[in-house]
Structure 1
Amino acid sequence: MLNRNLSRVLVTLISLTAGFSSGFGLVAAVSQARGAHASAKTLSAEAVAIPEGHPVPGQEAIDHAMEIFKISRPDDAERPVFDPGLTDRGLTVKSSWLGKTQVYIGPSAFTSWGMLGSTLAHEVEVHCRQNFPVIFMRDQLGMNGTAEAEREAYRYEIQNAARFGLSGRDTKLIAATVEYYYPRGK
């Protein structure tokens, strides 16, 4: 209850001071406040024609995965782009208070069409809808904003495993990633 009330106070405080503060700078969306992506929905597994083989890393595969998996991009987010130098599967960045959210997809997301789709959904359907300033404030207050945001995004991937045709191995890999990098209580 205290965390929920504190979050409400922080949201109000941030809303009041947003026009006067430029201290947020670059805030990577590896975090969120509870329920911040309420508009992102878990989609049921529809009959999707997933291409054979592995996607070739690049923008064309990203655009195709966005289309075949019907990944919903919010209006305030740029189109996801391929970043050959990114070591993670994906990264979401909010560059300024009113700027558009940017999503970068790295080569490790291209192990399968399902993993690419799942990564895009993690970044676009979850992180792009999360409240970056609240996450930042939660982190500053020791409330694990980043870890909670990541756990939410990875849960979303696991809940949508059928939608993306993820193998059991891929689903276990996602769950292991959460446990290793974002264990509960840290």
Structure 2
Amino acid sequence: MNRSTIATLVCVLGLGLCTFSLSWAATAPKSQGTLVIRDVQGDICTLPGPAPGTTVNYDFTAPTSPCPNDKTFSMEIVEFPSAMTILMTDNSHCEKNFNDYGGEFWLELKTTKKLTTSSKIREIAHIASSPPGTIIDPGVLLVAVEKKDGHVIIRDNVSCIKITASGTPPANK
């Protein structure tokens, strides 16, 4: 049963519910997907993808962080659109520059097609051990990984994740 059929059934059952259902459907934001972060015990936190053309930083050292600092073991991308960039760093500023912001590593991923399902659950250390340009899952590209020292421990050391959504494509005229 699709949403319009459900809305029609609700309308038949009562006018008050019909008005509520239609206004909800008209104002519901389009999903930008979710990045699911897991710690080594399997506990999860979720990071919603930003609106098109925007960026969101998730600083795990902040008191209001949705995820605990230095506990990221694995990740899963759920229904991200194409051209979404994910930057993971061990500094709380979500920056690649070691000289200005400290830190020992960063890695960057990009979706290359709309993910209509979930990617596989991947360990962060395993992703970071792959060469840049590796497709780590269908539709997910490892753009780059940088380690200040070749023996950096990445597991459980992520302090910030920056997710950037590409802008909305121009309308056809």
TM-score (norm 1): 0.27
Bigger helix share: 1
TM-score (norm 2): 0.28
